[in-house]
Structure 1
Amino acid sequence: MATMRGSWIGNLATYVVAIPIAGFFLIPIVWLISLAVRTQQEIFLGAARFIPEKPTLDNFTQILTDSGFLIYLGNSLKLSALGALGAVVVSAPAAYAFSRFAFKGRSTVMMAILAVQMISGLVILIPLYRYMGRLGLLESHFGVTAIYIAVGIPLSVWLLKNAFDGVPIVLEEAASIDGYGPFETFLRITLPLSAPGIASAFILNMILNWSQFLIPFIMLTEESQWPISVAIYNYAGSTTASTTQLLAAACLIATVPAILAFLILQRSIVSALTAGAVDG
């Protein structure tokens, strides 16, 4: 009885803390929705009327039928997907080595990789711009994708290592007895069994790449190459009160896919993060 009561109190305390925090982050989104479904006339009412009197979806229709906006969305999808795929492909062999091979300094190297993830992009932005300029990779999606891959490697190595840790090593030993070499075992046994973790790493990298702003903002100046984050920023700079509702609709369209992807796939992502955490 005491245990059940303590558990109930703990759950209640969790909700008491979580609900205000969730509300703090949801209020801007709710306000954005309010702006996005307003008519041009109701925009001028501001906070005086939180719920529009005549909500409309015309703003979304106007944005989604704009060919330029669709190009920006396509650029974001292309850069995010290629960057995520590249990070997973490059990180998989390294993560497998950390998972399966015992070598001196392994823990130190893993912590160093994590430390790299903590470095702000602002710190290296100027030297990175000069370096990419010397390589002739400015004004190209290839250059931006390469940076996305590099930025995503530390997180991917940690996620994939956890996924590989969750694959019983006895299966690889059995494959070795059957005549499989190390590389063949990795491709045919370990990777398929780690598919949920690999998918989660890809999805997380996609979400992070989708929200990238500084890298494409610095690397790309040609409008036709902008991802949606840069396009909205430049559009916001010229926004007037008469077009605020269109900007709000564009922001929602750009934000909601990432939020929905995380909410729908959060169980898979959490499983990837915790895979291999318990030995035995």
Structure 2
Amino acid sequence: MSARPRQRLADAATYAFAILIAAFFLTPLLWLLSLALRARQEVFLGASRFIPKNPTLANFEQVLSDPTFLLYLWNGLKLSALGGLGCLVVAAPAAYAFSRFWFAGRSGLMLAILGFQMVSPLVILVPLYRYMNALGLLNSHFGVTMVYVAVGVPMCTWMLKGAIDAIPREVEEAAQIDGCGRFGIFWRITLPLAAPGLASTFILVMILNWSQFLIPFLLLNKDGQLPIAVAIFNFAGTSNASTTQVLAAACLVAVVPAIIAFIALQRLVVGALTAGAVKG
């Protein structure tokens, strides 16, 4: 077999494998959509058909008209955005220092930051709760945001370092010759040029924060403060979500925005992950 047929066969096998993986992850979402589009009577009949006999959007209308559910969505959006902004504020100067300065222990410190990213939140749940309780930050969005920042900074630092590595040093050297100080170079030159990396990092961190469950579940107890990832369980126990199809609609409303955002902005996210990959 010549090289070209072998390449085509390898491409076909790759696409077939990708389709199988996509089907594996999409099937639960599609079944959830099928449940969300069913009427209550059809759910109770126990029909196993995938496509509902009489599709309806009434379940989504019921969920989106519930002010409590909308409050959960707002809490999730607020915590995700504040956590993402906090990560950028802390990680951007750190990434610039790792990218532009050489100092003793630089490589080891970078590996240590990567090591912190690998620590599971399950490992720190008990000490985290006791620490936040001692600081009086339980049932506080500020406390949850600070934990989001601490959890997201390692990944943000690595991503932003790659984006800054891709910026030519000659641009900064030219500004330095013109009399611009180091902070001025960082603020006026580097950050604007790294804007795509900043935006994609912020988007990715927001998506990760949106799906956080353990941290807000541990630190927040008041119903009005819960983000959607945690509050969906409380919503399942209310009279407004007492049926399967309404709960399925609520789950879709909570999950789909993050999926759509990632699909629509995946090029920005992948660009941030690979920026600077070919540079030392």
The TM-score normalised by the length of structure 1 is 0.96
Q: Is the 8 A contact 2:69 2:235 kept in 1?
A: no
Aligned twin of 1:11: 11
Aligned twin of 1:86: 86
Amino acid of the structure 1 residue aligned with 2:192: P
Aligned counterparts of 1:239 and 1:115: Cα–Cα separation in 2: 45
Amino acid of the structure 2 residue aligned with 1:27: T
Aligned twin of 1:272: 272
Give per-residue Cα distances to partners, 1:178-209, cap 9 Å, x unaligned: 11000000011110110111011100110000
Q: Is the 8 A contact 2:167 2:193 kept in 1?
A: yes
Amino acid of the structure 2 residue aligned with 1:216: P
- Please show how residues 203-218 of structure 1 align to structure 2 within 5 Å: 203-218=203-218
1:113 and 1:27, CA in 2 relative to 1: closer, same or farther beyond 3 A? same
- Please show how residues 117-196 of structure 1 align to structure 2 within 5 Å: 117-196=117-196
Amino acid of the structure 2 residue aligned with 1:78: K
Aligned twin of 1:201: 201
Q: Is the 8 A contact 1:32 1:252 kept in 2?
A: yes
1:59 and 1:89, CA in 2 relative to 1: closer, same or farther beyond 3 A? same
Give per-residue Cα distances to partners, 1:64-119, cap 9 Å, x unaligned: 11111111100000000000000111000110011111122222111111111111
Of 269-278 and 166-175, deviating more is 269-278
Shift of 1:238: 6.2
Aligned twin of 1:33: 33
Aligned counterparts of 1:212 and 1:101: Cα–Cα separation in 2: 34
Give per-residue Cα distances to partners, 1:39-86, cap 9 Å, x unaligned: 001112445222110000011011111111111100000000000000
Shift of 1:242: 5.4
Aligned counterparts of 1:48 and 1:258: Cα–Cα separation in 2: 29
Give per-residue Cα distances to partners, 1:228-249, cap 9 Å, x unaligned: 1111122335689951111100
Shift of 1:276: 0.8
Aligned twin of 1:244: 244
The TM-score normalised by the length of structure 2 is 0.96
Shift of 1:6: 3.5
Alignment partner of 1:62 is 2:62: yes
Give per-residue Cα distances to partners, 1:117-163, cap 9 Å, x unaligned: 11110110110000000000001100000000000001000000000
1:240 and 1:137, CA in 2 relative to 1: closer, same or farther beyond 3 A? closer
- Please show how residues 34-53 of structure 1 align to structure 2 within 5 Å: 34-46=34-46, 48-53=48-53
State the secondary structure of the residue aligned to 1:188.
helix
RMSD: 1.7
1:241 and 1:82, CA in 2 relative to 1: closer, same or farther beyond 3 A? closer
Shift of 1:10: 2.3
Aligned counterparts of 2:50 and 2:130: Cα–Cα separation in 1: 47
Of 92-101 and 232-241, deviating more is 232-241
1:148 and 1:168, CA in 2 relative to 1: closer, same or farther beyond 3 A? same
Of 183-192 and 103-112, deviating more is 103-112
Amino acid of the structure 2 residue aligned with 1:160: L
Shift of 1:16: 1.8
Q: Is the 8 A contact 2:241 2:247 kept in 1?
A: no
Q: Is the 8 A contact 1:79 1:145 kept in 2?
A: yes
1:267 and 1:95, CA in 2 relative to 1: closer, same or farther beyond 3 A? same
State the secondary structure of the residue aligned to 1:48.
coil
Aligned twin of 2:77: 77
Shift of 1:13: 1.6
Q: Which runs of 5+ in 1 are unaligned?
A: none
Aligned counterparts of 2:267 and 2:228: Cα–Cα separation in 1: 28
